[in-house]
Amino acid sequence: MGSAVVIIFYGSILFCLVGVVVRLIKFIKMPVHLKWEFYKGSSIYEQMEWWTKEQVNLWEKVKSTILDVLLLREYYHRNRPFWSVLYLFHLGIYLLILWHVWLFIASVAVEPETASTAGLIWGHTATALAFIGGLGILIKRITDSELKLYYPPLHYIKWVVMLFTLLEAFYAVQYYFDASMPALLKYVKTQVTFGDIEHKLHPPPATAIHVLLASIWLIYLPFSHIMRLFLRYYHYLVYDDVPNVKGGPMEHKIRKLLGLSVSWSAPHIQKGKTWGEVATEIPKELSKGAAGK
Amino acid sequence: MKRIKVSDISKNNEEQLLHIKEEELMQLPYIGEAENKGEPVKPLTEKQQAGFEHSLDGVSACTIPKPKDKEEEERFVRSFLEGLKKLISEKDNWTFLQQLLLSLDSCAKCQTCNDACSIYLGSGKQDIYRPTYRSEVLRRIVNKYIKKGGKIFAKLTGSDVDLNWATIARLAELAYRCTMCRRCAASCPLGCDNGLITHELRKLFSEEMGIAAKELHDLGTVQQLKVGASTGITPPAFKDIVQFMEEEIEEKTGKKIKIPVDKKGADILLIHNSGEYLSWLENPEAFAIIFEEAGISWTLSSELYGYEGTNYGVWYDDIQFSRVALKHIEIARKLNVKKIVVGECGHATKALVVIADRILVDDMNFPRESALPLLYDLVCNGKLKLDPTRNNFPVTLHDPCNMVRLMGIVEPQREVLRKICPDFREMEPHGVDNYCCGGGSGFAIMQSMNFPDWRSAVSGRMKMKQILEAFSDVISPEHKKYVCAPCSNCKGQIRELFNYYNVNEKYGIYYGGLVELIVNAMVDIEKPFIEWDWH
């Protein structure tokens, strides 16, 4: 049992890292798509000979992305009632992520006995925010007849597990570690430094359950909305508005893609030819030579 | 109102999922009982009902014939599944694969986008018209039938759509209940593009199963590639039209203009939607008057494909889209012009300037731009002598989605109107937040069975509301009012809307392009260029 917990804990971290990397590589390696953007305001196309003008500044895009992700601005503007609970949840999660980073660093960099109780307040506040927000989301999705049409049973199970994870984390810190920052930091230190294997092999239920629940979320992370959000902004930052310049890297990519063969079956498409050929060699029955006189 | 579940689409019977009723549609201001048709969408005749799929909402856009036997039904399902596999393969669908997978994967089902959809709102919030509805159907089909092990936990994961003839036929029709204005995509916090999913569905049906609205394919791109234009105008007919334009310009303005055709080495090749030559000749005439007045080096092309800017492929078929776009570039190269300028046509501009950007390599990568920045330059930098008092009537601006939200050309046309129309007023909302005219993605030209009724009663309803509200302070017919729509397809749709709701006669609202207003304000033309006759 104990060794299973250890394997699941470290295994899930490894799975999460590998999963994220594989998913990113898979996505990034997908072929560049046709230019298909939308705009929140004026663009370069408002200028004559736009191809000679400066493209949107990358820093502007990065700034906009950071603000979107941190404040969930789109939800704020488009769906204010939902934003309130969604933001509480996300704020709690952001604070929890930062708290864990701080715990990892502090556990090896700070003398545990000197740790301030502010860290405890930070963790509990973050957990409470995430819990209240998550509960709000769940209630909304259970009670709204419109939303109910779209969410499958698995979705509700996921949120119940999320709320249980948060509750259990609160229990572990407050009761198992007796709300003691030094005790918590010592425990984290053994995790970070791979120490005290004997203790890990015989974990108390409170930490074992927390490890199991955390592992579930680590395994889920590569498939979660967080990844989706990243992929959305990756596209926005990398492809949005990048023009195809003669002799440039985009043209190089496109030339390769035009060499892929096509297998669509409709009668107006020459199955088996390359994309470039199909686009330039119009079948006789479609061309003027055969039917257009 | 009856709730329609996502899985209802797979009810394998002929029962309509939705019956459109007048009392459930969004309310319109000023439109009274007389204008309401009682039954907003005429039912299909018994013969049509017996022959064609209509079980989505009683409307047939694609004229899909009903299957003759079980074997045909099964072939239909197999063909759809084959197409679906190709749709998510790099080889066959590199053009939009990344965007498609992201959109299939990223929906949080929060339904935020629904309130952005003019069709959903216009219909009185009917479930099947949600931007999320058709996407969710496709998502559930992919999860269940394409992903490994999809059927095992189908109930738990909500993958409850069964594949049968009715599901697929309804889905094909549903792909023609979205104008692809992508207002929903712009409002999605996670970047899920339901408009793109519509596009991809149409592509699957066209490129694999040979199913498309006939006005887009047979009478659209196929006709364009055969005779030169989707309107059927041939090169000799085009030359006659140009001659007629010269005569009419002289008659209207006293100006003797020789319209340049096939002039090699000109700075600009101007391409219009050929619908302008048939329905709104005053638009290309106004362009000619402005360009000649400003001393621009320009030309039209009378070559096959050179006088037709439309590219309906952009709405349903990447292959047809690419073929047409490449033809446009070839013409420009042959004439050795410096750049292509696309006239007042939203989809033609977006297709050639933006989307085609990533199919053009080497010398085919040719400079292309919209006419709107050039018109801004001519008007706002004093290159034309204009008297705004000649446009002393209420004017509002319709923002064509393709040029505004989907290209970010927001200000040039507004600046022009501010300069030459003293009573210019905005619709609400406007700019990148505009609502589609309801004729986008080919709807404006689609005439199948009772589809035109649906287009006016449902998809154009929001635009009708916006127009009436923009003129609410001058609504009586003695005030002549002008809706400026710098896009051929939008004009076509607005014409249909005004006919359907009898708006021109009852409220004195007229519509037209931007260049007509510019010429109307030119000081050296005696008679008003805008004649206010309904056409």
Question: Based on the domain organization, do A135 and A43 belong to the same domain?
Answer: yes
Question: Based on the domain organization, do A111 and A81 belong to the same domain?
Answer: yes
Chain A residues close to B182, C-beta within 8 Å: 38
Ranges A70-79, B32-41, B44-53, B512-521: which has the least confidence: B32-41
Region of B476 please: left (phi>0), alpha (psi -120 to 50) or beta.
beta
pLDDT given at position B152: 87
pLDDT given at position A292: 30
Q: Which helix (H) or strand (E) holds A3?
A: helix A2-28
Nearest CA among B249, B193, B218 for reference residue B406 = B193
Identity of the residue numbered A152? P
Range of the domain at A54: 2-238
Measured in angstroms, the CA of A128 and the nearest CA of chain B are apart by 23
Chain B residues close to A158, C-beta within 8 Å: none
Fold classification of B218-375 is Rossmann fold (3.40.50)
Question: Based on the domain organization, do A153 and A51 belong to the same domain?
Answer: yes
Is the pLDDT score of B404 beyond 90?
Answer: yes
Confidence of residue B154 (pLDDT cuts 50, 70, 90): confident
Question: Based on the domain organization, do A145 and A32 belong to the same domain?
Answer: yes
Is the pLDDT score of A287 beyond 80?
Answer: no
CB pair distance less than 8 Å for A152 and B157: yes
CB pair distance less than 8 Å for A265 and B83: yes
pLDDT given at position A2: 64
pLDDT tens track for B279-311: 999 999 999 999 999 999 999 999 999 999 999
Mutation site for A-interface testing, chosen from B88, B211, B357 by largest number of A Cβ within 10 Å: B357
Question: Based on the domain organization, do A39 and A58 belong to the same domain?
Answer: yes
Residue A243 inside a domain? The answer is no
Measured in angstroms, the CA of B403 and the nearest CA of chain A are apart by 9
Q: In the listed set A219, A238, A257, which residue is the last one of a domain according to the structure? A: A238
Question: Based on the domain organization, do A180 and A203 belong to the same domain?
Answer: yes
Going from N- to C-terminal start, the domains of chain B cover 6-210, 218-375, 385-520
Mutation site for B-interface testing, chosen from A47, A48, A55 by largest number of B Cβ within 10 Å: A48
CB pair distance less than 8 Å for A30 and B377: no
Supply the CATH number for residue A169's domain. Answer: 1.20.950.20
pLDDT tens track for B166-186: 999 999 999 999 999 999 999
Task: Tell me which of B314 and A55 has the higher pLDDT.
Answer: B314
Measured in angstroms, the CA of A20 and the nearest CA of chain B are apart by 15
Measured in angstroms, the CA of B190 and the nearest CA of chain A are apart by 6
Ranges A30-39, A143-152, B149-158, B505-514: which has the least confidence: B149-158
Question: Based on the domain organization, do A116 and A159 belong to the same domain?
Answer: yes
* Alpha carbon distance B505, B185 (integer Å): 37
Question: Based on the domain organization, do A265 and A160 belong to the same domain?
Answer: no
Residue A244 inside a domain? The answer is no
Q: What is the mean pLDDT of residues B245-268?
A: 97
Identity of the residue numbered B17? L
pLDDT tens track for B462-488: 999 999 999 999 999 999 999 999 999
pLDDT tens track for B87-133: 999 999 999 999 999 899 889 999 999 999 999 999 999 999 999 99
Mean pLDDT of chain B: 95
* Percent of chain B scoring above 90 in pLDDT: 93
pLDDT tens track for B182-199: 999 999 988 899 999 999
Candidate from B187, B322, B409 with C-beta closest to A279: B322
CB pair distance less than 8 Å for B409 and A82: no
Question: Based on the domain organization, do A49 and A91 belong to the same domain?
Answer: yes
Chain A residues close to B376, C-beta within 8 Å: 46
Task: Tell me which of A28 and B42 has the higher pLDDT.
Answer: B42
CB pair distance less than 8 Å for A258 and B323: no
The dihedrals phi and psi of B395, each to the nearest 5 degrees, come to -130, 135
CB pair distance less than 8 Å for B360 and A282: no
Mean pLDDT of chain A: 88
Chain B residues close to A154, C-beta within 8 Å: 153, 156-158
CB pair distance less than 8 Å for A43 and B409: yes
Which residue is closest to B132 within chain A, CA to CA? A150
Q: ipTM more than 0.90?
A: yes
Q: Please answer whether residues B34 and B426 qualify as being in contact, where contact means their C-beta atoms are separated by less than 8 angstroms.
A: no
Distances (CA, A) of B464 to B268, B417, B471: 36, 21, 11
pLDDT given at position A194: 78
Number of domains in chain A: 2
CB pair distance less than 8 Å for B189 and A40: no
Is the pLDDT score of B363 beyond 80?
Answer: yes
Confidence of residue A289 (pLDDT cuts 50, 70, 90): very low
Ranges A135-139, A228-232, B328-332: which has the least confidence: A228-232
Candidate from A41, A257, A282 with C-beta closest to B94: A257
Confidence of residue B150 (pLDDT cuts 50, 70, 90): confident
pLDDT given at position A207: 81
CB pair distance less than 8 Å for A154 and B157: yes
Nearest CA among B103, B136, B137, B131 for reference residue B116 = B131
pLDDT tens track for A192-237: 887 777 766 677 788 888 888 999 999 998 888 777 777 777 777 7
Is the pLDDT score of B393 beyond 60?
Answer: yes
Candidate from B156, B193, B322 with C-beta closest to A152: B156
pLDDT given at position B94: 96
Identity of the residue numbered B263? K
Candidate from A39, A232, A265 with C-beta closest to B408: A39
CB pair distance less than 8 Å for A263 and B92: yes
pLDDT given at position B36: 56
pLDDT given at position B72: 94
Measured in angstroms, the CA of A41 and the nearest CA of chain B are apart by 6
Confidence of residue A9 (pLDDT cuts 50, 70, 90): confident
Ranges A131-140, A284-293, B226-235: which has the least confidence: A284-293
Candidate from A31, A82, A232 with C-beta closest to B90: A31
Candidate from B82, B111, B206 with C-beta closest to A150: B111
pLDDT given at position A111: 86
Distances (CA, A) of B117 to B29, B414, B493: 19, 24, 17
Q: Please answer whether residues B492 and B521 qualify as being in contact, where contact means their C-beta atoms are separated by less than 8 angstroms.
A: no
